[in-house]
Structure 1
């Protein structure tokens, strides 16, 4: 009798513990802690990376220096790659907190936090608070979201506005009363206008196309149909809001620069990117099917668990809206000439909602844990993979460029004993979570996401940046101290100008110039300028500084 009583007590205690753990994993306080870890921890710990962060932040630096808040410039030349909002946000942050990596990345971290907040309130309204928290946890800890939240580029800001516009579209669908749904329409146009000011037409294209397909699919529903869609699309007040937000700067840059921005941005950086690969970023029709599991790490298996009931999703309006949102983005970029992983993020917000809503469908431990364990196994093997790469190159007489040899050598040193212990400990922790049978699989995957964040951003990223970007930063600081005429030679690393705190033109070097270049360009510099002596001022890893002097 006593034994049976003890067993019942143990079962009851176990149930209480499981309930407490479940409440913890769906607590908004946990979400706040995870956002702080994923978006703000290590925010300013590593140098800016090239090409993207260097280009954005150099344009911001020149904006602050020149006082020209209309036309962004990079190394003295107009930068027409993106509209102006991200530069304004970075400039405001730098004015408040000082011009450094933390301040330049802070707008992205804040935008990602607001993105999570927008998702949480939307899911709480459509489903429930616990599901909203789980969706936020999955999004905050996914690999690609945490990467752009820590990057001084426009992507987190753009994703915020795209997601907010979609949330307003679905709220409009839920409320058929024209007297009360006007606010949803106006806010959707506001978010599209701000997105248009961040990265252009993509912020309008996807909301329009997805909403059209969704309302078309709801022809038999009293809230759906093309009439309701057309009423919102041709809202005069909505377009007035959009134009009031977006047009003033576009008009100002036209008055300043003529049609240069419009030809470069709309024709080259939008139509051109879809028509052909830019800067070598080509792919293939299945590129995003391959990249999606990497983007969603460690939740790739969680996403795959949704596919078995995809047919049934069409019967639920919210599920249908979310799937159409994702599939339109996936299909559009699958046929784009330029393909980059972060493009797919425009359509990943609905996946986090679906994963949270159907979290109990994740029942296969292998499906859940194999993807993150493969990532950690790869990180554990990375030092040996570098050695294998060097061996293969030597065995098959593959000539490596000087900067590649330098980075491989630095990488061998950076991936030290402490690195090995840390990533191996992370892999062991994943194995323990895999074997811990009591909590739900989705909850264990959230813990795996926290481990992934700690190891990737606390161990791997600092070492990668020490190899690739610390030498660029040091070279910029050396050049700033020397205060000589400085040029860039056949090298595109704009963060050098950020750290040098000056425009660095790309032109033929002359006697008396300090030259920044990648080390594999040193021989060509000597061949191109045989009448000048080269004096090595700084060399580390992939880059060097050379002083050019006339031959006496």
Structure 2
């Protein structure tokens, strides 16, 4: 086995991989608690859901813009309330602290998964560093939504299921596993139980151990899961009646799986989107032994050894990733964020392939990998100055020179250390992402607020409402202006209804997309456009009567 000298800092970090990844995510997040406005679309909508939960007491059934919101269960919003209560965070810092803590939890869960699946501290640390240098993960760690918390519970369900199948004293592990599935389901939805159960079933089939499915402890665990879910369903029935439950089980679960009413994408969506989201680690394909991967003899050998106990942890990780990917591909609704739970096993497999494990040689060529990623960093450095030119809006992006400098130095550093092995390259990538994030968060992202946040229009509406105007909106993504407007908004897609309100009321403030305003025939008299703002990719008109 080849010998590779490890940097002194690596030995310190490896001694406690959990604290190491926590310290890095702390450094990535410490200056981002109140650094920009909330963005379109989910951040502002979830902020309104949380506000309505706190102010109106909607603790079991969430509300958005004053209307029952069946899309999301309550656990994430309870989590935000806990942060609001126990920490000094206030206002939008509650949401960003929630993102940072969710990312920390996901990292700890990923390291715990790696350790549970048989990885030593070396590979467990590298697993966390792979995530901390993935651009998509870093972005979600600084965007307010529940997916990282959701994914963390899924990971712990996998950890407990794996331990249960490896342990004679399996009962307590299965109880915990189904408990985590229940909490995951009440964080975002049924994928919280489908992901772990699918992994477990496929693993037992692969290993020829389906008789373990007859373990009575699994039935007890299922009872725990049903008790958690039924407690919420009964509470929701009492609070909001049967229409909400019908919406949950039919529209939000059945229709999304079979014939989604939104976010419907072609079958190959994740085949294109996932490699982009996994950058820069997607480039590991150039360092992989492709000749072996495409060898029939290799797969015959893998199949013949499938019942061996030597690589059960590795097999669980591969099955966790592949089964989850196939499941998502088969669903009608396809959203990129759904892939996050798959990042953990893939990060572990990437780290294991790069460093080796259990006395095995690394299967990834670190030199080829660092050259490929260096090229990616240098490409980002070259492309960054053109970002402002490519955005077709009148907006000034700040901090691009820092992006060029940091990405350029990171690329050159990887080229310099390309022959030094895996450890230095991982540390260079971790440091690069940490340094790159600071000007990005403090300068570049806040400068995108006029384009990405409905704050400007929402706060103007708030001023008009304070002066007595009646707030309305036509054909918008529900709830995107409510948080900053500070009030529920009468939303409708019926122009006749709007015309009637304008006729009956003297003071009205109305928001609608420019394309609908331009198509509006027989506009009522006395209306004036007082503001126009591009939000995300479309212009919105603020109209006053």
Query: In which range does the TM-score fall when normalised by the shorter chain?
Result: 0.7 to 0.9
Partner of 1:58: 48
Q: 1:134 aligns with which of 126, 129, 137?
A: 126
Q: 1:248-271 deviations in whole A, cap 9, x for unaligned?
A: 121111222233233322322222
Matched, 1:329 2:324: yes
Conserved? CA contact 2:418–2:425, under 8 Å: no
Give the equivalent residue in structure 2 for 1:399.
Answer: none
**Higher percent of residues as helix:** 1
TM-score by length of 2: 0.82
Please name the residue that 1:123 is paired with: 114
Aligned counterpart for 2:479 among listed residues 491, 494, 497: 494
Question: Which sections of structure 2, spanning at least 5 residues, go unmatched?
Answer: 294-298, 306-310, 356-362, 493-497
Do the aligned partners of residues 528 and 329 (structure 1) sit closer, same or farther apart at CA in structure 2, a change above 3 Å counting? Answer: farther
Contact 2:105–2:149 (CA under 8 A) maintained in structure 1: no
Task: Tell me how far apart the structure 2 counterparts of residues 119 and 232 of structure 1 sit (CA, whole Å).
Answer: 28
| Equivalent of residue 279 in structure 2, options 265, 289, 297 | 297
- In the alignment, the residues of structure 2 paired with residue 258 and residue 304 of structure 1 have an alpha-carbon distance, to the nearest angstrom, of 55
- Name the residue aligned to 1:529: 523
Decide whether the 8 Å contact of 1:373 with 1:430 is kept in 2. yes
Q: Please say if 1:166 is aligned against 2:158.
A: yes
Name the CA shift for 1:85/1:528 in 2 (closer, same or farther; >3 Å): farther
Distance (Å, rounded) in 1 between the aligned partners of 2:71 and 2:30: 27
Aligned to 1:354: 349
Kindly indicate whether the alpha-carbon contact (under 8 Å) linking 2:371 and 2:418 is maintained by their aligned counterparts in 1: no
Equivalent position of 1:87 in the other structure: 77
Mark the CA change 1:495 to 1:44 in structure 2 (over 3 Å): closer, same or farther: farther
Of 227, 247, 256 in structure 1, the residue corresponding to residue 230 of structure 2 is 247
- The correspondence for 1:190, drawn from 161, 175, 179, is 179
1:548 aligns with 2:539: no
Matched, 1:49 2:42: no
Q: Is residue 2:139 matched to residue 1:155?
A: no
Q: Give the C-alpha shift of residue 545 in structure 1.
A: 6.2
Q: Deviations over 1:490-541 (max 9, x none)?
A: 332734211222212214262411223444544346x4533232151x4444
What is the match of residue 409 of structure 1?
393
CA distance, structure 2, for counterparts of residue 444 and residue 240 of structure 1: 47
- The Cα shift of 1:350 comes to 0.9
Go from structure 1 to structure 2 and tell me whether the alpha carbon gap of 1:67 and 1:162 turns closer, same or farther (over 3 Å shift). Answer: same
The offset of 1:342, in angstroms, is: 1.7
Matching of residues 499-518 of structure 1 within 5 Å: 499-507=484-492, 508=498, 510=502, 511-518=506-513
Q: Does the 8 Å contact 2:474/2:510 carry over to 1?
A: yes
Shift of 1:275: 2.2
Distance 2:515 2:414 in 1: 46
Does structure 1 residue 339 correspond to structure 2 residue 330?
Answer: no
User: Do the aligned residues in 1 keep the contact of 2:236 with 2:245 (CA within 8 Å)?
Assistant: no
Give TM-score, length-normalised by structure 1: 0.82
SS in 2 for 1:235: helix
Match of 1:433 in 2: 414
2:308 aligns to what? none
Give the Cα–Cα distance (whole angstroms) in 2 for the partners of residues 32 and 349 of structure 1. Answer: 16
Summarize deviations over 1:168-207 as a string: whole Å, max 9, x none: 11111221x2xx3222111101101101111222111122
Query: Take 1:32 and 1:44, find their aligned partners in 2: how far apart are those partners?
Result: 20
Q: Distance in 2 between matches of 1:541 and 1:334?
A: 33
Q: Distance in 2 between matches of 1:284 and 1:235?
A: 37
Q: 1:105 aligns with which of 96, 99, 106?
A: 96
Q: Size of the alignment, in residue pairs? A: 501
Cα RMSD after superposing both structures: 3.0
> What's the secondary structure of 1:531's corresponding residue?
coil
Listed one character per residue, the Cα deviations across residues 293-349 of structure 1 (whole Å, up to 9, x for unaligned) are 222222222366567466466642111111111001111112222222221222221
Shift of 1:128: 1.4
**1:485–1:304 CA distance, 2 compared to 1 (3 A):** farther
Q: Deviations over 1:38-92 (max 9, x none)?
A: 4554243122222212222211111111112122111111111121211222233
8 Å CA contact 1:49, 1:495 repeated in 2: no
